[in-house]
Amino acid sequence: MRRLLLVEDNELNRDMLSRRLKRRGYEVLLAADGLRGVALARHAMPDVILMDMSLPEVDGWEATRRLRADLATQAIPVIALTAHAMPGDAEKAMAAGCDDYDTKPVELARLLGKIDALLAPAGPGRERKEAGCRRD
């Protein structure tokens, strides 16, 4: 079973999205802030992380940078899932090390497509990201 980590501080969104993803057969781990998100990622090694950006303790951009800096977690794909939908927000998320970016409100079919793309074995996206990590 594919394991997803959803880092999200809004309780409603956490509940709603985790239930919908579980219904589609994913194991969903939850974290309510960036610090716990990074710790859980290191501990549970999920297949994909869905990362909100506006988070308490450590925000999504910093959390992603920490995941990327850690050898154990640097290969885990991260999808920025954020209500920051202004021009430039996608670039900002990618610059922090995210592999993909999607906006809220979530359009589930679109998000699932992005998750599947990142889970596909030996996708070109991973290669590129690993190269990007070494650059950091």
Partner 1 sequence: MLTGRGSIQTKLIVILVLTAVATALAACLGLAFFEFRGFRASLSSDMRSIAQIVAAGSQAALTFGDTKAASETLAMLKAEPRVAAGCSYGADGKLIAQYVAQGRLTCPGHSPPFPHEGFAADHFYLTRPIELDGQRIGSIHLICSLNEMYARLTRFGAVAVAVLGGSLLFALLISTQIQKVISHPILQLAETVMTVSARGDYTVRAGKLAEDEIGVLVDRFNGMLERIQAQDEALRRAHDETEARVVERTRELQMEIVARKKTQAELERAKNAAEEANRAKSAFLAHMSHELRTPLNAVIGYSEMLVEEGEDRGQHWADEDLRRIGGAGRHLLTVINDVLDISRIEAGRMECQIEPVNIRSMIDAVVNTAEPLARRNGNRIVAECRTVRASMPADVVKFRQSLLNLLSNACKFTENGSIWLEVDETEERGAPWLRWSVRDTGIGIAPAHAEKLFRPFSQVDSSTTRKYGGTGLGLAISQRFCQLMGGRISFESEAGKGSTFRIHMPAEPAAEESGARPPAGERD
**Residues of this chain that bind partner 1 (CB under 8 A):** 10, 12-13, 16-17, 19-20, 23, 54, 83-89, 91-92, 103-106, 108
**Least spacing, CB of residue 134 vs partner 1, in Å:** 26
Q: Find out whether 26 and 4 touch, Cβ atoms under 8 Å.
A: yes
Q: How far apart are CA 91 and CA 113, in angstroms?
A: 20
Q: How far apart are CA 28 and CA 46, in angstroms?
A: 9
CB closer to partner 1, 76 vs 90: 90
Distances in whole angstroms, Cα of residue 58 to Cα of each of 36, 62, 82, 105: 9, 6, 15, 23
CB closer to partner 1, 100 vs 102: 102
**Least spacing, CB of residue 77 vs partner 1, in Å:** 21
**Least spacing, CB of residue 120 vs partner 1, in Å:** 24
CB closer to partner 1, 47 vs 89: 89
CB closer to partner 1, 53 vs 76: 53
**Least spacing, CB of residue 118 vs partner 1, in Å:** 21
Q: How far apart are CA 58 and CA 14, in angstroms?
A: 17
Q: Find out whether 93 and 100 touch, Cβ atoms under 8 Å.
A: no
